[in-house]
Every structure is written in C-alpha cells, then in structure tokens.
Amino acid sequence: MDTSIPIMFVDDEKDFLKSVHLFLRQKGYQNITLISDSREVLESLKEQSCSIVFLDINMPHLSGIELLEEINKKHPGTTVIILSGNTEISLAVEAMKKGAFDYLVKPLKPEELFISIQTAVKDLILKNENEFLRDSLLKGNLKNPEAFSSIITRNAGMHRIFSYIEAIAPSGLPILITGKTGTGKELIARSIHKLSSSNGPFVALNSAGLDSFVFADTFFGHVKGAFTGADKDRRGLIEEASGGTLFLDEIGHLCAESQNKLLRLLQEGDYYPLGADKTKRSNARIVAATNVNISQETAFRKDLYYRLQSHRVELPPLCKRMEDIPLLIRAFTEEAYNTRCIPFQTLPQELEELLFHADYEGNIRELRSIVFEAVNLQIAGNLSLNHFKKTLRINKEENSNSMQIFQSLPYLPTLKEAEQKLIEEALRWSDGNKAHAARLLGISRQTLFNKLGELKKI
C-alpha cells in the first residue's frame, strides 16, 4: 500500500490530532497534515493538494458539512471522510449524500482508522487506473513501450495486457500473474517493476519445494543466534527488495505456515526475521505468479489469494499467439547463434513450417529449447527434419477445425465458396496476417494475394 499519499486531518481537538499522527507514523505514513482551525483548510489545500481529507463534522467557524461542499467544488478529486460523534449520525448521513466517501464514529479505534485509509487509497488507485486504462485503450498506444522490449509479440491480446499493466504498475498493490508454464510470467513481472514508481531492485524467489523453515529464512532472514549455525544476521529477500519488487514464482506451492506469514506481511506491512523479537517494516511490492488455479486449490488460503490478486494478469498460452511463432523462431535462432559466437543462419523453411504447426505444452520456453537444439544440430551438420517430425507434437486441431467450418452451411458449398471460407478462416486464425494465413493454407503469399483479388471481384 502506498504510504506516501498525502492525508489531511481537520479537528479542533488537538490531542486527537496528536494521537492520530503518532499512530499513522508508526504505520509508515509520512505525508500527514494536521489542522485544528477549520478556516485554514481551503487555503492549505490551495497550496498543497491532499488525496484524502478527514473532517470532523462539528467544529467552530466552518463545519465539516460546509467544508465538504467547498472541497467538492474546488478539489473534486479529493476523497473526504467525515468524523462524527454518536449524536451526529444524521449529519453524517447528510454528508454521505453530499459526496463524502465514508464516515467514522468517534472515539475512533486505531485499526478502524487504518482500514478506512486503506479502503480510500485503494479506491483512489482504482479510479486513477481506470482513467489511465480508458485513455490508453482509446488512443491505442503505449506510453512506455520500452518497458516491454524483452517480450516478443504482435498479438493484439498481449498489447491489451501491456496497456493494463501500464495502468496498474504504479499503484504499489500486489499483483498476481497467472498462466501456463513457459508463457513469460517473470518477463511480465520485470515489466511491472520497470513501470513502478519505486527505485529499488527486482528480486526473484521460486517458492516451489521450499519448506516452512527454508522459506522463512530465505524470505524474512534471521538474526544471530536464531538457530544452530546462525553466527551472524542475515538479510532476507524482502529486505533485499526494499523500495523495489519481490517476485514470488510458483506461489501455489507454499505450505500453510508460509502462507500465514506472507498474509501477515501483506496485511500489516511488517514481519519478524527468524529469532527476532521486533518487527521490521517492508516497502517492497509483491508480485506473485502461478501456473495452477489457486482459487480452486483447497490447500491455498482464500484470504491470501484475495490479497495477492488486488490486480490479476492472465497470460495466454502460445497456441493463442500463433502469429508470434515466426517472430519467436527468428529471435531464438539469432540468440542461439550469438551464444555460440557464429554468424547467423536461418533455419530451413521446412523446419520453420513444422515448428509453426507444432503443439507446445511448455509454451515459449519449450519453443526456445527446440530452436536452440535445431541450431546446435545445424552448426554440427546433423540437422535432420525427420528427427523433429518424430519428436514434435504436431497440432492436428487446425485440420479438424478447418473441416468443421462448413458445418454451419445448410448445403454442400461450391469449390469457390469452400476456397473463400478457408481463406477467411485462415485470416481469422492469423489475426489478419496474410503471410501467416498463406502458411496455414500451404500456399505462397503471392498466391493468396491473387486469390483475395479474385474474391473481391465476386
């Protein structure tokens, strides 16, 4: 949660203001304005805007209701929360009707105040994200394309994901990335880190196979003497990621005890290193990833799942990004040759065709491995198309789907109609990319252009 957000408290009780200030400083909030004279509020907001303003409803000079109306007129983006006594509930209801975000009844419980601030901050973040996302989708372009430079794609769905990430990355809230193995979850996490407002490092931890003790020691660190062999303090990864991003991969494999500790960190913003009797605060952003549906996993805490998915990014498998396969083959071929410090050569066209139609359970990671294998065999002079025909899983789905496209017709199509339908289906499969559509149809690009020209004349 962003603790740098500016917050103002207006109340004529100075002792109340002091206690609020002390409590919020302990929670990590630094940008707090305290005002005991209601006549100073509007001038203060003119000099320095505040995202959230708490107003006592009953004050000398200007009441909370009067200030609420003026703030709504002059600072419409400000969230106002009303503070009322037990006898002023009707006034609080009136304030809600006039645009107050919430009201709290005094005397306040500290945790009640903290939850109210968290709720207001989340609401502000979502409003800003929705506005940003709507603006970017209408304009149809990215403001920070360099943040996604490591991700090879021209898929429209991936570009919509990029726009969404641009909107949510600055918020600082946890993000859950889902998707099958090899779809690029860590690359997306790194893009989120580049777009975040923090300057700290990107730190990654694979949670798979870590028991409760190893996870706690790696994640939170320990103090000297915490256990046999702990002869000095050790910083955990959460501290290493201070001011930055901690990427937790394979989050679905966390044991119950580790889930409990992570949940506390997300709820309270603090943690205990092993053996410590004092907490440490964390300002690292948590980005988690999983290739399983943790919302359906009975062993995974539902409250932790809801905390992690303040925002959720779901990555498509490679079979939904067919137009990216030729780009990826080319990029991985170049990478493989660069790794061997040998001048670049393209792979045989027949092999690229085979790779295009293959089925990749391991998605992009599997395709990269196969391309590297092909390059190594090509360099050694042992490249055999038959080898890959035997080992690749060729996707038969395109062929079966091609036969099914005629089932909607009430009659047997003519040859010309069948040809038109196949071309339309190939273009749909390839998102309008004519080169890929020609490859799917098994014809040259020029032949496809000629046939499209003929169809326009019909």
What confidence tens digit (pLDDT) does each residue in 166-205 have?
989 988 899 999 999 999 999 999 999 999 977 899 999 9
Residue 114 domain-assigned (yes or no): yes
Q: Identify whether residues 147 and 293 lie together within a single domain.
A: yes
Q: Quote the pLDDT of residue 398.
A: 45
Q: Quote the pLDDT of residue 403.
A: 44
Supply the pTM of this predicted model.
0.67
Give the pLDDT mean for 239-259.
95
Q: Identify whether residues 242 and 253 lie together within a single domain.
A: yes
Residue 48 domain-assigned (yes or no): yes
Q: Identify whether residues 305 and 159 lie together within a single domain.
A: yes
CA–CA gap between residue 152 and residue 392 (Å, rounded): 22
Listed residues 74, 109, 130: the one ending a domain: 130
Nearest residue to 10 (alpha-carbon basis) of 47, 62, 46: 62
Residue 17 domain-assigned (yes or no): yes
Q: Identify whether residues 206 and 336 lie together within a single domain.
A: no
Q: What is the CATH number of the domain that holds 371?
A: 1.10.8
Q: Identify whether residues 323 and 310 lie together within a single domain.
A: no
Q: What is the DSSP string of 43-71?
A: HHHHHS--SEEEEESS-SSS-HHHHHHHH
The HSE-up count of residue 351 (CA atoms within 13 Å, CB side) is: 22
Q: Identify whether residues 191 and 227 lie together within a single domain.
A: yes
Q: Identify whether residues 157 and 81 lie together within a single domain.
A: no
Please answer whether residues 146 and 77 qualify as being in contact, where contact means their C-beta atoms are separated by less than 8 angstroms: no
What confidence tens digit (pLDDT) does each residue in 292-327 have?
999 888 899 999 999 998 899 999 999 999 989 989
Please answer whether residues 287 and 168 qualify as being in contact, where contact means their C-beta atoms are separated by less than 8 angstroms: no
Number of domains the chain contains: 4
Q: Identify whether residues 420 and 381 lie together within a single domain.
A: no
Residue 101 domain-assigned (yes or no): yes
Range of the domain at 28: 7-130
Q: What is the DSSP string of 205-257?
A: EE-TT--HHHHHHHHHEE-TTSSTT--S-EE-HHHHTTTSEEEEESGGG--HH
Nearest residue to 129 (alpha-carbon basis) of 169, 95, 96, 99: 169
CB neighbourhood size of 39 (10 A): 12
Q: Identify whether residues 348 and 425 lie together within a single domain.
A: no
Residue 25 domain-assigned (yes or no): yes
Element (H, E) at 8: strand 7-10
Query: Looking at 140-154, 201-215, 379-393, 428-442, which range is the least confident one?
Result: 428-442
Give the pLDDT mean for 412-423.
73
Q: Is the pLDDT of residue 432 over 90?
A: no
Q: Identify whether residues 98 and 205 lie together within a single domain.
A: no
Q: What is the CATH number of the domain that holds 190?
A: 3.40.50.300
Residue 330 domain-assigned (yes or no): yes
Give the pLDDT mean for 59-85.
90
Residue 137 domain-assigned (yes or no): no
Residue 135 domain-assigned (yes or no): no
Q: Is the pLDDT of residue 431 over 70?
A: no
Give 401's pLDDT tier (boundaries 50, 70, 90): very low
Q: Identify whether residues 332 and 225 lie together within a single domain.
A: no
Listed residues 130, 163, 192: the one ending a domain: 130
363-380 and 325-340 helices, crossing angle to 10°? 50
Q: Identify whether residues 157 and 306 lie together within a single domain.
A: yes
Listed residues 79, 101, 130: the one ending a domain: 130
- In angstroms and rounded to an integer, the radius of gyration of the C-alpha atoms of the chain is 29
